[in-house]
Amino acid sequence: MAEPVRLIIWDLDETFWSGTLTEGGITYTQSNHDLVLALAKRGIMSTICSKNNFEDVKALLTKRGVWDYFVFPSINWHPKGPRLKQLIEDVQLRPESVLLIDDNSLNRREAEHFIPGIQTADVDIIPTILESPLFRGKNDEALSRLAQYKLLETRKADESEAPDNIEFLRSCNIQVEIDHDVEAHLDRAIELINRTNQLNFTKNRLPEDPDAARAQLRDELSHFTTQAAIIRVRDRYGDYGYCGFYLVSSRRGHSRLEHFCFSCRILNMGVERWVYDLIGRPKIKVFGEVLTDLNADIRIDWIKLGSDGPASSSGVAADSLPDRVLIRGACNVDPLLHYFKTNSTEAFGEFNQIRDSISVRRDHSLILRYAIEGVSRTDMRLLRRLGFDESDFETKFHTLESPCLRILACWIDAHEIVYRHKETGLLVPFDMRGSGMRRVDRVRAKGKAFRDLDLPESAMRAIRVLNAQFEHVGVLPEEDAIRNFDLIAGTLPSGESVFLICAPNGKERRHGLSRFAELNRRIGDAAARHPGKLVPVSIADIIEDDDIGGNAHFHRKAYHELYRRICELMVHREPGSYPHTLASTDLELQTT
């Protein structure tokens, strides 16, 4: 089945016009002239491959006002086959989306020999073109696609004269902008997902029905683990528009690309490989044939982050942020890591881990305290019996070289998961996967209820130890919260801070967030004790109630706003001080 056509290659003599230009005259075919203009308004390009004198053809078509509607014209007396092959390489399209119209059957066969997959036809196809679904294109009354191909044409001409391709690329001043407001460009993102091939690495197509495609992509974008952006490219030749899209799914510090696709108009610029490096080289399953090896050992030093890049969109220059970033918390702050990876040499995440249904809560301030202080052999023996491992008490929090941006979200401190050993007094946050707000009842289960838990034997043993040797405390005691925050502040190098993300103090009981007001008070008190060291970051005016999903996960756009806020706090401050960032709503006690 033939593919939709994106480029028509016109023969001239006895095809675009009647007669032979070099043999004394032609009859100009106005309907073909009008067809070229109509196709351009559908985003379908036209070019020429003709055996003729270039200047004569240019003069004639310029006089007729149609010369500028042709891109990459090939007009000389050389054989057509090799020229057609080069022309298609220059326009950077797949042969299957190109149609050659030529009255000479030998020329058509030659094209098919040199360019397998190309579509060919004689002049009989011309009257049917505008009604054919293969030439539907898309509305482009502004002729934006024609303008972009003209940019490419100029660029290719200069490239052919350059002695060195890398030096030419460095001279182009290529700038890439990462726009996270995908919803504002939803149809363009859909077009990139469904219509690109040569630089579509994932080929996870959306439905052909426009409404169904929009609904599916909006759904993919809404998940808290999803981070996405649409890519704009400019260079000294002009603006190539939005010509790339990615959607990455992240969980517990591990990322996977679901969509990674680019328009062929930026082929051979290195943009796709540069973006892949920028977003941290997430896992990707490449589907089908593509023209770029993302793992090629090439240092791309000719592309810069544009003025609307991730950090500078907040008015923050990318080079003003620290080279190292550490984020510690639960999966509900994991998405922040994606944004910081785009501007930092090293970005680390220390997130929770599930082991045999037992949740290792690295986001709890107790676990961080133990990781900083170290755990005694006696305490470690107890912790191992509860399913913990020595590696659970390791952290880069106090060992990373300066300067380093540290971010901590310890919202789990507000939950009733703390237990105290009856003999030693050791406090332990113990949590089970899937236990949610009912975790206390689950670990206290007796008899048949205990047998019905359907847990791995190692988890069952841990619960037996917990019930026999520990007593339930509930929320972390005030004195321990003070000790934890004081220790964290004390470990920071001189002049450095940790950003404490305040918990979302939502009003709806279904979110289970009402207890967060007390945690935010503790954060505020700690910041007051350690000004400039502990910096509370309010999200009260960032998170709408509709942004909050289960377990205090947010909509994708909320994470980007939080990222921007931290960047602004990091840069726009007086030395050693930060503005007070707690909102009154962070401290309001909600009625449940």
State pLDDT tens for residues 454-470.
788 999 899 999 989 99
Residues 450 and 391 both lie in one domain = yes
CB half-sphere exposure, 227, CA atoms < 13 A:
27
Residue 147 lies in a domain: no
Sign of CA dihedral 353, 358, 363, 368: negative
Residue 152 lies in a domain: no
Position 383 confidence tier, pLDDT thresholds 50, 70, 90: very high
Residues 373 and 494 both lie in one domain = yes
Q: What is the pLDDT of residue 515?
A: 77
Token code pair at residue 23 = 């043999």
Per the structure, the count of domains in the chain is 3
**Beta carbons within 8 Å of 527's beta carbon, 6+ residues apart:** 500, 534, 535, 536, 582
Residue 305 lies in a domain: yes
467 or 558, which is more confident: 467
pLDDT at 591 over 60: no
Q: What is the pLDDT of residue 313?
A: 46
Q: What is the pLDDT of residues 421-443, one digit of tens each?
A: 999 999 999 998 755 434 545 56
323 or 490, which is more confident: 490
d(CA 469, CA 419): 10
Residues 188 and 135 both lie in one domain = no
Closest CA to 335 of 180, 481, 112: 180
What percentage of the chain has pLDDT greater than the value 90?
64
Residue 539 lies in a domain: yes
- CA 281 to mean position of chain CA atoms: 11
Please answer whether residues 357 and 337 qualify as being in contact, where contact means their C-beta atoms are separated by less than 8 angstroms: no
Q: Look at 32-36, 129-133, 289-293, 344-348 and tell me which has the smallest mean pLDDT.
A: 344-348
Q: What is the pLDDT of residue 303?
A: 95
Residue 148 lies in a domain: no
Residue 2 lies in a domain: no
Q: What is the pLDDT of residue 509?
A: 41
Residues 305 and 324 both lie in one domain = no
d(CA 291, CA 56): 37
Question: Which of 107, 142, 177 finishes a domain?
Answer: 142
Q: What is the pLDDT of residue 214?
A: 96
Average the pLDDT over 456-485 and give the result. 93
Helix (H) or strand (E) holding 18: strand 18-20
pLDDT at 544 over 80: no
Residue 533 lies in a domain: yes
Residues 330 and 297 both lie in one domain = no
Looking at the DSSP bridge assignments, the partners of residue 470 are: 421
Residues 419 and 554 both lie in one domain = yes
Q: Look at 127-136, 200-209, 338-347, 362-371 and tell me which has the smallest mean pLDDT.
A: 338-347
d(CA 375, CA 393): 8
pLDDT at 575 over 70: no
Eight-state DSSP code of residue 413: G
Residue 539, domain extent: 318-586
Please answer whether residues 10 and 33 qualify as being in contact, where contact means their C-beta atoms are separated by less than 8 angstroms: no
What CATH number is associated with residue 375? 3.40.50
Residues 438 and 488 both lie in one domain = yes
d(CA 455, CA 468): 18
Token code pair at residue 417 = 């998961």
Residues 384 and 482 both lie in one domain = yes
Token code pair at residue 350 = 């220390």
Provide φ and ψ at 169, rounded to 5°: -60, -40
d(CA 456, CA 440): 18
d(CA 309, CA 323): 17
Q: What is the pLDDT of residues 39-70, one digit of tens each?
A: 999 999 999 999 999 999 999 999 999 999 99
Q: In what order do the strands lie in the sheet with 353-355?
A: 353-355, 358-360, 431-432
Average the pLDDT over 254-258 and give the result. 89
Average the pLDDT over 498-524 and give the result. 76
CB half-sphere exposure, 445, CA atoms < 13 A:
20
Residues 57 and 206 both lie in one domain = no
Q: What is the pLDDT of residue 369?
A: 97
Tell whether omega for the bond before 210 is within 30 degrees of 0, i.e. cis: no
Residues 367 and 329 both lie in one domain = yes
pLDDT at 325 over 70: yes
Position 149 confidence tier, pLDDT thresholds 50, 70, 90: very high
What CATH number is associated with residue 40? 3.40.50.1000
What CATH number is associated with residue 189? 3.40.630
pLDDT at 553 over 90: no
Please answer whether residues 107 and 80 qualify as being in contact, where contact means their C-beta atoms are separated by less than 8 angstroms: yes
d(CA 30, CA 27): 9
Question: Which of 142, 175, 199 finishes a domain?
Answer: 142
Mean pLDDT of the chain: 87
Position 510 confidence tier, pLDDT thresholds 50, 70, 90: very low
Question: Which of 79, 113, 142 finishes a domain?
Answer: 142
Token code pair at residue 129 = 């073109």
Average the pLDDT over 154-183 and give the result. 92
Residues 251 and 322 both lie in one domain = no
Angle subtended by helix axes 457-469 and 377-385, to nearest 10: 120
Distances (CA, A) of 418 to 298, 414, 421, 449: 50, 10, 10, 22
Residue 68 lies in a domain: yes
Q: Which amino acid is at 89?
A: E
Length in residues, the chain: 592
Other C-beta atoms within 10 Å of 354: how many? 13
Residues 261 and 136 both lie in one domain = no
pLDDT at 262 over 90: yes
Location of structure tokens 């755990």: 375
CB half-sphere exposure, 32, CA atoms < 13 A:
26
Provide φ and ψ at 121, rounded to 5°: -160, 155
Average the pLDDT over 554-565 and give the result. 81
